């Protein structure tokens, strides 16, 4: 998803789902998570923007402690990004 949006300008969720061949609802959910962690932004129009030309994510992931607990973004995830100038 990020690779599709890098350098693409504003892209609506439905258009992104079409480009990726994925369900609109799932793309919307994934995009919301990426907006939450700062890798995507919402344009005033509601479309998505990836304002980075390069994204490097360095994180450590451990095993789940309890059965049935869904994995989440680690608390100590570090991201290095370069914004499009």
CATH number of the domain where residue 9 is located: 1.10.10
Task: Give 8-28 pLDDT, tens digit per residue.
Answer: 999 999 999 999 999 999 999
Q: Which domain holds residue 38?
A: 2-83
Please choose, from the candidates 78, 55, 43, the residue with its C-alpha nearest in 3D space to the C-alpha of residue 3. Answer: 55
Q: Is the pLDDT of residue 2 over 70?
A: yes
Query: Distance (Å, rounded) from C-alpha 67 to C-alpha 32?
Result: 26
Q: Which helix (H) or strand (E) holds 33?
A: helix 24-36
**Residue 50, Cβ density class (10 Å: 0-12 exposed, 13-18 middle, ≥19 buried):** buried
Task: Report how many domains make up the chain.
Answer: 1
pLDDT for residue 76:
41
Determine the 3-state secondary structure of 78 from DSSP.
strand
């Amino acid at each position: 998803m990020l690779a599709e949006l890098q350098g693409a300008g504003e892209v609506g969720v439905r258009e992104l789902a079409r480009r990726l061949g994925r369900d609109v609802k799932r793309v919307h959910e994934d995009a919301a998570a990426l907006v939450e962690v700062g890798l995507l932004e919402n344009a005033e129009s509601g479309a998505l923007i990836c304002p980075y030309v390069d994204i490097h994510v360095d994180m450590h992931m451990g095993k789940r402690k309890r059965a049935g607990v869904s994995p989440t973004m680690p608390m100590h995830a570090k991201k290095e990004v370069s914004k499009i100038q």
